[in-house]
Amino acid sequence: MDEAEFDKHALAYEDQLRENIAITGEDPTFFAEYKIELFSKWAHPKPRAIVDFGSGIGNSIPYFRKHFAESEITCADVSLKSLAHGSRRFPGREQSLVITQEGIPAPDQSFDAAFSACVFHHIPHEEHGFWLKELFRVVRPGGAMAIFEHNPFNPLTVYAVSTCPFDENARLIRANSLQARCRDAGWQVLRTSYHIFFPRFAAGLRGVEPLIASLPIGAQYSVFAKRPS
């Protein structure tokens, strides 16, 4: 991961993201909250300590506070500028960690769960195994991990990524590849689901999305896993 790449987009990130996803009819808050809300439904018992891997400018913080009100949240990112901007946007009790090329600067088994929102497509594919093992290291046995990613089989997603300034070096990853890399790193994959099948104008149909979550056509997907006890 390249901290300089994310530093240069930190202050403009929110505006660039809002412009990039305008085609969906939604704004960044919708995409930020749905991930945290799903994670809160899957993670039982509620984790006491969560690391947000690749937290960026803190878009998930308000929804961690809403859906994980009793949890301790640590925002971890390679970009110090992004972490600082996130702290200014959402001042509070969240902790910050600056990820280095050597890994996540936290002791073994520091967290009960790990969360990552559309981060791995920014990481060179040959490094995925290293970072999944790092997340495995810092999560306690029995702990959970949720990774959300863009679906390379969805044409609107591919277009949005290809035209987004902060995705200039992005390389999308297929769900089956991410699953395999999670397993290789020691994780037990519990479910893989696709999300966001309908844009805002068809939001009334979103109630059926859980029924079609196995269809690889949603705009994004998630891999939910646990560290074996």
User: How, if at all, do strands 139-150 and 111-117 pair?
Assistant: parallel
The arithmetic mean of pLDDT across residues 218-227, rounded, is 97
DSSP, res 126: G
Q: What's the token pair of residue 183?
A: 């397993």
Residue 161 is predicted with a pLDDT of: 83
Provide the domain limits for residue 78.
Answer: 3-226
Overall pTM surpassing 0.85 (yes/no): yes
Tell which residue, 179, 212, 187, 195, has the closest CA to residue 133: 187
More confident residue, 88 or 167: 88
Residue 9 is predicted with a pLDDT of: 46
The arithmetic mean of pLDDT across residues 137-161, rounded, is 94
The arithmetic mean of pLDDT across residues 122-150, rounded, is 97
> Does residue 111 register a pLDDT over 80?
yes
In terms of DSSP H, where are the helices of the chain?
Answer: 3-7, 13-20, 28-42, 61-67, 80-89, 128-138, 155-162, 175-184
> Does residue 13 register a pLDDT over 60?
no
Per the structure, how many domains does the chain have?
A: 1
* Least confident residue range of 24-33, 45-54, 81-90: 24-33
* Residue type for position 172: L
Most confident of 18-27, 99-108, 154-163, 193-202: 99-108
> Does residue 186 register a pLDDT over 50?
yes
* Least confident residue range of 14-18, 44-48, 64-68, 108-112: 14-18
Q: Report the alpha-carbon distance of residue 224 to residue 43 in Å, rounded.
A: 9
Residue 138 is predicted with a pLDDT of: 98
Tell which residue, 34, 47, 38, has the closest CA to residue 144: 47
Residues 108-131 as b or e (16 or more Cβ within 10 Å = b): eebbbbbbbbbbbbbbeeeebeeb
Q: What CATH number does the domain containing 143 carry? A: 3.40.50.150
> Does residue 22 register a pLDDT over 90?
no
Handedness of CA 102, 104, 105, 107 (dihedral sign): negative
Q: What is the mean pLDDT of the chain?
A: 89
Phi, psi of 7 (to 5 degrees): -55, -40
pLDDT band at residue 98 using 50, 70 and 90 as cut-offs: very high
